[in-house]
Structure 1
């Protein structure tokens, strides 16, 4: 529905009137061919009954409607209209394009939202303030919050159940694949090749490192330091199936014979220069991968590789 013409100051041009409700156009839309304009509500309701223009009966559908030209919108915007709260005592006359903002602030608007000062602090329409009950409203708000919380808890429970089911399916798939590999040597070989390719791709993304102070090696890193290095490996894209092995190989108890004790490390110190090392991003640590160090003696390397953590001296 449009605006009552009696609310406007002065004459209103017929071109600004809706031929359906005979009021001044509100949110106008126009037909595509004949360009007759109507209130958006009026024309959409009309088209639910018959798909034709109300003026010349040309065939149209809701999807054919389009906004009116800017010049028509400007003419509407310049009209002066009385506030719809005039019966409540408001004497304001504003431009039509300012009506909405005026109504939001109009002191005579019975639906103007105001804050309750009785204690609850809720925002209530002005005409409902007399019957407003703080305790009842707060109780209702609390109940709504509890209902929402219950729904969230149900959703969380459902998601947890879905995750558990997916984890169970993944475990079953892994067990099936493991059984297949054990029973079929060819599948074992293919799986190993895939894992090796994944390792090579990852290693190739890492920056080459140079250790300037091998004496700064931390052979027995604590749990906190290991956790930091493990997170850095994960963030670098390290294949899941070797992360745990690599971290276990960060401690001297898992190192090969040539590195297993302080004495052997001092004895083989000059051989460190033969290592191809890659830096663990952002850390004073390197990895020495077996796939890149096949040229070193067997007692100086192990599968899939070594993690060496330093106090300093990694470039």
Structure 2
């Protein structure tokens, strides 16, 4: 539908008025032969009921519609129109093509996003500020974020299941195609590296806090944190098997050897396991380390304290 004629300063040329709604043309469209112009919504709605020009009744198909000419658009852009929010107090008149940008920024726009002045940091539509309650709305936002997180978790698990099915399928035909093992290995390595890059780098402040023989509850808590972080399921088992000194490489195998090598620890690239005093030391991150300090694909170190 077109713009209300009463919103414009001065007279408006008759050629700029839609014959259907009698308003000033909005998103104008022209017919190909007679070149009569109409508001886009008006002519589309008209043609859904009858296939003729509303002015001269010539046959028209919706496929025949074309954008209004540059001259017609230029004439429209020269018109001065009052702001959409004049009823809220805005006194501005502006060129028609400037109206959308002005309305988005207009201080009288009741839906203009405005920051809460009470410190919660939320941005609220202006007309809702009077009813805004920081605690209530923050809680509501947390609930929505949790719902989104739960949905993403479900979607992720579905994708993981499909990936595992694909890998199982590849493994099942390895005996048929000798190239398949290499493909599977490359696929799994790419998957591991993508996951590793999602973990933040960790800084160990106190290597003395490392638990070389962690108890079962500590290991189970770390296992769950690895799964929640998106670690590939097959990798979780391998990493947790490498979380005890009995599986560690020669350079970390005993307290005495670790004491001799303590100055090399700071060369490890460690990744923080979210929510836990634990890190993963992945071989793909530590290619410059001495081989006797590493395991494939990596190992887990659990600490009592001392991780940033």
Q: TM-score, normalised by structure 2?
A: 0.54
Which residue number in structure 2 is paired with residue 98 of structure 1? 98
Runs of 4 or more, structure 1, over 4 Å off, are: none
Which residue number in structure 2 is paired with residue 53 of structure 1? 53
| Matches of 1:99 and 1:85, distance apart in 2 | 11
Which residue number in structure 1 is paired with residue 236 of structure 2? none
Q: 1:25 offset after TM fit, Å?
A: 0.6
1:21 to 2:36 alignment: no
| Matches of 1:101 and 1:145, distance apart in 2 | 31
**3-state SS of 2:81 partner:** strand
Which residue number in structure 2 is paired with residue 146 of structure 1? 146
Which residue number in structure 1 is paired with residue 174 of structure 2? 174
Mapping for residues 201-216 of structure 1, pairs under 5 Å: none
Q: 1:59 offset after TM fit, Å?
A: 2.9
Which residue number in structure 1 is paired with residue 134 of structure 2? 134
Give structure 1 stretches of 5+ with no counterpart: 179-190, 196-315
| Matches of 1:148 and 1:25, distance apart in 2 | 42
Q: 1:50 offset after TM fit, Å?
A: 2.3
Mapping for residues 179-218 of structure 1, pairs under 5 Å: none
Instruction: Supply the RMSD in Å over aligned alpha carbons.
Output: 2.2
| Matches of 1:133 and 1:47, distance apart in 2 | 49
Larger Rg: 1
| Matches of 1:31 and 1:42, distance apart in 2 | 13
Give structure 2 stretches of 5+ with no counterpart: 183-308
Q: 1:79 offset after TM fit, Å?
A: 0.6
| Matches of 2:76 and 2:172, distance apart in 1 | 69
Q: How many pairs were matched up?
A: 180
1:118 to 2:118 alignment: yes
Mapping for residues 215-294 of structure 1, pairs under 5 Å: none
Q: 1:74 offset after TM fit, Å?
A: 0.5
Query: How far does the alpha carbon of each residue in 1:252-294 deviate from its partner, in whole angstroms, 9 at most, with x for none?
Result: xxxxxxxxxxxxxxxxxxxxxxxxxxxxxxxxxxxxxxxxxxx
**3-state SS of 2:124 partner:** strand
**3-state SS of 2:130 partner:** coil
Q: 1:18 offset after TM fit, Å?
A: 0.6
